[in-house]
Structure 1
Amino acid sequence: MSAPNVQPSKAEPKTYFGLGLWNVYFIGKFALAYTGYLRLDLLLNAAFFLFVLIPVKGKWLHRLHALVALVLGISLLWSESWLPGPQSILANQSGITGFSVNYVVQLAWDFINFRMVGWGFVILLVYYLLRDFVRVTTITALYLVFLIVQPFFMAPAPVRTQPAVVAEATPKTPDEILKQASTGTTTDAVVPPEEVETWYKTFLDYEKERVAQLPAGIGAKDTPFDIILLNICSLSNDDLEASNLQDHRVFSRFNIKFDKFNSATSYSGPAALRLLTGACGQPSHDALYDSRRPDCEIMNRLDSLGFKQHLFLDHSGAYDNYLNTMRTQAGLTATFEQRKFPLKYMSFNNEEIADTLSVLRHWNRVVTRDKDVRSVSLFNFIALHDGNRLPLHSRWEAFEPRAKAFLDSLNTFINELEKGKRKVLLVVVPEHGAAVRGDRIQTPRLRDIPSRRITQVPVLVKFIGVDDLPKNQIHVTTNTSYLGLSTLIGRVIETNFFSKKAGAVPLEALVQDLPTTHMVSENGQAAVLEYKGRDYMKLNRGKWEPYGG
């Protein structure tokens, strides 16, 4: 009997089901969120989890599903991180496109957190060891469900009663209202974002009305002196501490130090604009680029009092349209003569950066030509900007040796000024910090979010040619910004401070009741402020949330 003719049946397409390696993705995100490096969007994560779990038949359909999942997974992870989003990148594209390829590559490499990469491999190894014995997908799913339902079972936060306020202590001026709301004690309670937004708008409205008091004119017998504004890119109080340079000898040589000066931004262009328009209250970031206000322009107001303007840069002023922006948005009229100074560094955009001390010494050659003529000089230095490297080197130079060299040059310059015959008001006012050490929100060297570590800068004032000043340094311990600094300059002029060897008035009188400015900092796509003892941030014009850095 012949064997039956059996037709071979077609193999059923293999069905792909389960998370597989996506377990590592979710577990890693859970760990990062727990430690504060991510903010999980539970709804989107649940939707993505279900998408990955969709059973797929066939090899090619499985590959397409995996590709789509990869794109979605990376996009979701990026949106939940604190990295700059597309809006921020587009807003700063003019500056980013100027970066050299070498700088971009090194920046990307330095952003890699090898400790996190190591923990990622540990999670991957544990997954492969357990996947044959434990249903890892079930555990991942249960934990995700726990995160989703947990808020519904948490006990409501206890109501915090505020102490009664007597009628006599009720604040009556806008400044007192702002101060009462912004300097409360830190509590565990998080303020609703609407309340923070209301305070922020009140702050901006109040600041619009503030203008620094400068004298209307200068007496014929007033002692002439020069004003030097050293605007330094990338130097914050935190940078100095991170680099062990907070006790550099040059700092003790200044007569006045602002301990809580807020530069109000973490980028160079806006910082320079805020300095040059600092004779008024603090505007929003967008308002910086609106129509000009001549009464806010400190250089031009000093010019009207007889101070001749000068400008000195250790760079060309071309990057990010720096020089043109200062002229069109802040009314800077000082001429800029680009000279061939000794080369110190090559910048992050392959531009030559001049030797700091050579630029400082050039001031003596320019200003001393005009005897008995008052002057106001703006210096802008980028020697400390991230990514600068020594000539003929491909690797960027670390911050600490560059900062030390800069401070040494400043110290030498002060020595030379003191040997000269001119009376000088020397003001050091950095633009922002270098973000030498980051936090959970931002990695080191990233300045997209203007956090306190980046915007609190060492502002210092020294009177040269006034020999009998007390040796003890005066500290301004209140929250201040450019309005307070402009007011101090006005008081120096008004009191004819340089007319006496010990100063026309005590130093304490110069800083008494200087205008304070609450801690509010902004870039184009991010803002940080202090409210009731806690720092809050807003990204991409979203809602205010606690800064967890």
Structure 2
Amino acid sequence: MELWSFYFFAKLFLYYKEYIKFDVTYNLLFALFLTIPIPEKIRFRGVIVTGRVALGIILAISLLWHDSWLPPPTEGASFLMSQGIPSTEYIYSFLMRFYNPKVFMLIGAIFSFCWLANKFLKMSTLVLICIMSLIPLKVFGEPNSQELTQTVDAFFDSETTRVTRYEKPEAGHPDFDLVILHVCSLAWADMVDVGMDKDPFFRQFNYLFTNFNTVTTYSGPSVIRLLRGNCGQQRHGDIYSEAPRECYILETFSDVGFKNYVTLNHDGKYGSFAEEITNNHGRPGPMNLAGLPVQQNMFDNSPIYDDYFTLSRWWENRLVSGEKAAAVYYNTVTLHDGSHWVGQKEWWKGDRKAQYQEFLTKLFKDVTRFINLLSSSGRNVVVVFVPEHGMALKGSVIQAPGLRDIPLPPITNTPVAIKLIGKQFNGEKVHQQVIDAPTSYLAITNIISRFVEKSPFTPEGMPGKTFTHTIPQTDYVAENQSAMVVKSEMKHFFFGKEKKWIELSDYEIK
């Protein structure tokens, strides 16, 4: 087997460090294929040897990808074709996240061992023994796939029955405006990673969700799920099909008396984001951004506009319109991976965490400034702050920083908050109610519908603590195109390209 032993020992090392999986059956078959002796006197022996080496390289790469936590290659290619190619600077920055000096040094040491030991030991025998030692883990260590699949099927069956209903106010329209701030790339784990999890920003909100699941880790699916938030959670494969009208929040907002608006601080072209909004009943289209200050550039060098000035322009337009009640969906990519200040030199070489902290500080200041602007207007406003997904600043052993193919809890668990702005709330101490139960989008729409039905801006004021006890809970099921993570009996399980359930350890998640 000669230096093929390095391939297997390196993979076994990565497996024991939990960087990859290890399919015992396929790896054992591959090792046996490489150890089949080729007689010295067989005809065309040189061609056969060369052919086996060439085929072995192809199989080795394919098997390594199979054992990795990465999605199928076809999905990666499809993603790039549909989303567009980022700038070369961003690609450089992204690839550098995979570089781990300690791991590379240890793999180098394994190579040296295999090269030296090959002269004294029969490496093929050693490789086969090591692989076969994992067979008991394959037989006895795998979770009950059928039971987990039935649990997930039952979850989605139950979700199809859940719908948030709205009752139109007696006055014909709500007595407040509604602002939904959809923020790209912000999870609790990201704030912890940059030391901002205790930032006072969230103390100004009346309701704070600490166990909210965004379900997905990508912007397109996230906006679809939010804009269909009146209905229970759908499978990923179903979100691109038309849903019942009652599922679309902007349709129901219009039905109960809101005038709808859509505003972004970017052009919405990447990933056809603006198109996804339109497809999910987000009409009219996004507000014109001409003349607004550009504060950053995206990883594809498209402009990112200042959050405060973008929001304040919408507010000016809203006041001029004279509408009795308005609702806006606002999306910001200020925190998006690869974003950088306008004119920033060699941004791709900078400290990602330091840059992220700067962007997050700016975002918090802009949103707070906008809240103050709303407060000074004298109007009643409900502000909903909900991230799309996290940034994955830290990453984990199974997924490099910035990668989000596997929807792990540190990426999907985001801070969601709701603030009430009005005369009886402005300037008063906020008595925040924390919701720590597992929730998702249905919880947000449930609260909004109850505010529409019974306004929190009446003399009775904000509902009491029992109000949050009846908010709908949602079990943890997170899903992307080819990966699903579920929580069952306090354990997390992953379903990926292997089409089987794998239990994830806390070490693999964090």
The normalised TM-score by structure 1 is: 0.84
Q: Which residue of 2 aligns with 1:35?
A: 17
Q: Note if 1:123 corresponds to 2:132.
A: no
- After superposition, what is the alpha-carbon deviation per residue over 1:153-185, rounded to whole angstroms, capped at 9, x for unaligned? xxx7xxxxxxxxxxxxxxxxxxxxxxxxxxxxx
Consecutive unaligned residues in structure 1, runs of 5 or more: 1-18, 157-188
Q: Note if 1:521 corresponds to 2:471.
A: no
Alignment root-mean-square deviation, CA: 2.3
SS in 2 for 1:480: coil
- What CA distance in whole angstroms lies between the structure 2 residues aligned with 1:481 and 1:527? 16
Q: Among residues 94, 98, 101, which one is paired with 1:111 in the alignment?
A: 98
- What CA distance in whole angstroms lies between the structure 1 residues aligned with 2:2 and 2:142? 38
Q: Which residue of 2 aligns with 1:226?
A: 177
- What CA distance in whole angstroms lies between the structure 2 residues aligned with 1:247 and 1:378? 27
- What CA distance in whole angstroms lies between the structure 2 residues aligned with 1:420 and 1:279? 30
In structure 2, do the counterparts of structure 1 residues 91 and 195 end up closer, same or farther at CA, with 3 Å as the change threshold? farther
Q: Note if 1:290 corresponds to 2:241.
A: yes
Q: Which residue of 2 aligns with 1:14?
A: none
Q: Among residues 200, 212, 232, which one is paired with 2:152 in the alignment?
A: 200
SS in 1 for 2:436: strand
SS in 2 for 1:99: coil
- What CA distance in whole angstroms lies between the structure 1 residues aligned with 2:81 and 2:360? 27
Q: Note if 1:334 corresponds to 2:280.
A: no
Q: Among residues 293, 300, 316, which one is paired with 1:365 in the alignment?
A: 316
- What CA distance in whole angstroms lies between the structure 1 residues aligned with 2:262 and 2:51? 59
Identity of aligned residues (%): 28
Consecutive unaligned residues in structure 2, runs of 5 or more: none
- After superposition, what is the alpha-carbon deviation per residue over 1:9-33, rounded to whole angstroms, capped at 9, x for unaligned? xxxxxxxxxx222222111111111
Q: Which residue of 2 aligns with 1:448?
A: 405
* Equivalent position amino acid for 1:337 in 2: M
Whether the aligned pair in 1 keeps the contact of 2:173 and 2:324 (CA below 8 Å) is: no
Q: Which residue of 1 aligns with 2:135?
A: 148
* Equivalent position amino acid for 1:513 in 2: T
SS in 1 for 2:12: helix
- After superposition, what is the alpha-carbon deviation per residue over 1:416-453, rounded to whole angstroms, capped at 9, x for unaligned? 32222221101001111111111122111101111111
In structure 2, do the counterparts of structure 1 residues 46 and 406 end up closer, same or farther at CA, with 3 Å as the change threshold? same
Q: Among residues 361, 367, 371, which one is paired with 1:404 in the alignment?
A: 361
Q: Which residue of 2 aligns with 1:496?
A: 455
- What CA distance in whole angstroms lies between the structure 2 residues aligned with 1:60 and 1:311? 64
Whether the aligned pair in 1 keeps the contact of 2:172 and 2:256 (CA below 8 Å) is: no
SS in 2 for 1:379: strand
Moved more, 481-490 or 357-366: 357-366
SS in 1 for 2:329: strand
Q: Among residues 28, 31, 34, which one is paired with 1:49 in the alignment?
A: 31
SS in 1 for 2:331: strand
- What CA distance in whole angstroms lies between the structure 2 residues aligned with 1:114 and 1:314? 38
In the TM superposition, 1:414-433 aligns within 5 A as 414-433=371-390
- What CA distance in whole angstroms lies between the structure 1 residues aligned with 2:112 and 2:380? 69
In structure 2, do the counterparts of structure 1 residues 151 and 231 end up closer, same or farther at CA, with 3 Å as the change threshold? closer
In structure 2, do the counterparts of structure 1 residues 250 and 75 end up closer, same or farther at CA, with 3 Å as the change threshold? same
* Equivalent position amino acid for 1:232 in 2: V
- What CA distance in whole angstroms lies between the structure 1 residues aligned with 2:134 and 2:455? 66
Q: Which residue of 1 aligns with 2:468?
A: 511
Q: Note if 1:66 corresponds to 2:53.
A: yes
Q: CA deviation at 1:194?
A: 0.8
SS in 1 for 2:321: coil
Whether the aligned pair in 2 keeps the contact of 1:310 and 1:377 (CA below 8 Å) is: yes
SS in 1 for 2:55: helix
Moved more, 337-346 or 437-446: 337-346
Whether the aligned pair in 1 keeps the contact of 2:24 and 2:138 (CA below 8 Å) is: no
In structure 2, do the counterparts of structure 1 residues 145 and 195 end up closer, same or farther at CA, with 3 Å as the change threshold? closer
Whether the aligned pair in 2 keeps the contact of 1:236 and 1:458 (CA below 8 Å) is: yes
Q: Among residues 142, 145, 162, which one is paired with 1:210 in the alignment?
A: 162
Q: CA deviation at 1:487?
A: 0.7
Whether the aligned pair in 1 keeps the contact of 2:172 and 2:257 (CA below 8 Å) is: no
- What CA distance in whole angstroms lies between the structure 2 residues aligned with 1:59 and 1:105? 41
SS in 2 for 1:385: coil
Please tell me whether Structure 1 or Structure 2 has the larger radius of gyration of its CA atoms: 1
Q: CA deviation at 1:376?
A: 0.4
